[in-house]
Amino acid sequence: MNINNWLKTNTFHHSDFWDLKQLIREKEKQNLTVSLCIPTLNEEKTIGKEVVIFKSELMNRYPLLDEIAIIDSGSTDKTREVAEAFGADVFLSSDILKSMGEKQGKGENLWKAIYQLKGEIIVYIDADIKNIHPRFVYGLLAPLIYQPQIKYVKAFYDRPLASSQGIRPSGGGRVTEILIRPLFSLFFPELTAIIQPLSGEYAVRREILENIPFPIGYGVETSHLIDVYHRCGMDAFAQTDLDKRVHRNQHTRDLGKMAFGILQTFLSRVESLGILHDLPELTNTLRQFHVKDNVFEEEVHDIVEEERPPMIEVPQYRKKFNRN
């Protein structure tokens, strides 16, 4: 595949899809159903605005979404109450597929959404976006509606970093540039065409989601790209420029935990694909240090990237969606 050609044909800008009435006509012509999933954990400050904007603009004014659902990890603030008050369907992740048990992690919420939601297309949007706008949904959804061969659409954007001097005009994506882009360059060069592989905003056809496993933690986005690429190739992907995303930024130590989990998932994938062989048994322990009273103190984290199986393998799912 020629990466430059792919970038020209499969990269869009949200303004390409400004005509929402036309988009709705095409959606209805194909008899498609679309679900919006917002995974949450203690997001009471931003979740209300997201629900209000998406419901008023993309359900009431332009009927593009068929449902808006919150899949919550057990928030201890008022996330669920706020979301429900503004009209979202709210579900506790632990209440979905209870026979499968409860696991903690964003990937768990995304996986359980496949069972809980009805859409033939599911749009995932993070809950901490401060400059939320309808383009975060229709910009990702439109390529799937207009081009049936596309299966998975990722967002990219400028990600300003908040600093003591205010908002810087560029930055962010630190784990992408330090970890993911070098790994993809070495092992999956074509995937380097994905500008922001770890973005939390993407739209996917159910036929893809139900057939891939889901790491429950940090590795879920990386595993998605590798698995879909292995199954379908680059022609199944597209990406949309959403201009700018403003959100809270994580501390470096937290990014280290994220990178550690992602790396576990990545190594598991390259071994299962036969790209690397005979990897040793790897530790799940991450050691970090911080200084307290001029003394270096050790922090030990056990990070295990467990995986949920493809949803199509779950009997309750096959029964609910008539996959038997």
pLDDT at 160: 52
289 vs 300: CA distance, rounded Å = 9
Average pLDDT for residues 65-92, to the nearest whole number? 97
pLDDT, averaged across the chain: 93
pTM equals: 0.92
Average pLDDT for residues 175-202, to the nearest whole number? 95
Which pLDDT band, with edges at 50, 70 and 90, does 248 fall under? low
Using the predicted structure, report yes or no on whether residue 48 has a pLDDT greater than 50. Answer: yes
Average pLDDT for residues 230-236, to the nearest whole number? 97
User: What is the residue whose two structure tokens read 């029964």?
Assistant: 319
Packed helices 106-116 and 220-232: angle between N→C axes, nearest 10 degrees: 50
pLDDT at 247: 61
pLDDT at 308: 97
Using the predicted structure, report yes or no on whether residue 168 has a pLDDT greater than 80. Answer: no
Strand order in the sheet with 67-72: 11-13, 237-244, 152-158, 202-205, 121-124, 34-40, 67-72, 89-92
CA distances in angstroms from 142 to 12, 33, 68, 181, 196, listed in the order given:
10, 13, 17, 27, 19
What is the CATH classification number for the domain harbouring 284? 3.90.550.10
pLDDT at 26: 98
Average pLDDT for residues 235-255, to the nearest whole number? 87
Average pLDDT for residues 122-131, to the nearest whole number? 95
Which range marks the domain in which residue 53 is found? 3-320
Of the candidates 49, 36, 248, the residue with the CA atom closest to the CA atom of residue 125: 36
Using the predicted structure, report yes or no on whether residue 251 has a pLDDT greater than 70. Answer: yes
pLDDT at 171: 42
Using the predicted structure, report yes or no on whether residue 165 has a pLDDT greater than 70. Answer: no
Number of CB atoms found within 10 A of residue 44's CB: 17
Which pLDDT band, with edges at 50, 70 and 90, does 163 fall under? very low
Using the predicted structure, report yes or no on whether residue 155 has a pLDDT greater than 50. Answer: yes
Domain count, the chain: 1
Average pLDDT for residues 175-185, to the nearest whole number? 95
pLDDT in tens, 84-110: 999 999 999 999 999 999 998 999 999
Using the predicted structure, report yes or no on whether residue 167 has a pLDDT greater than 60. Answer: no
pLDDT at 1: 74
Average pLDDT for residues 232-257, to the nearest whole number? 88
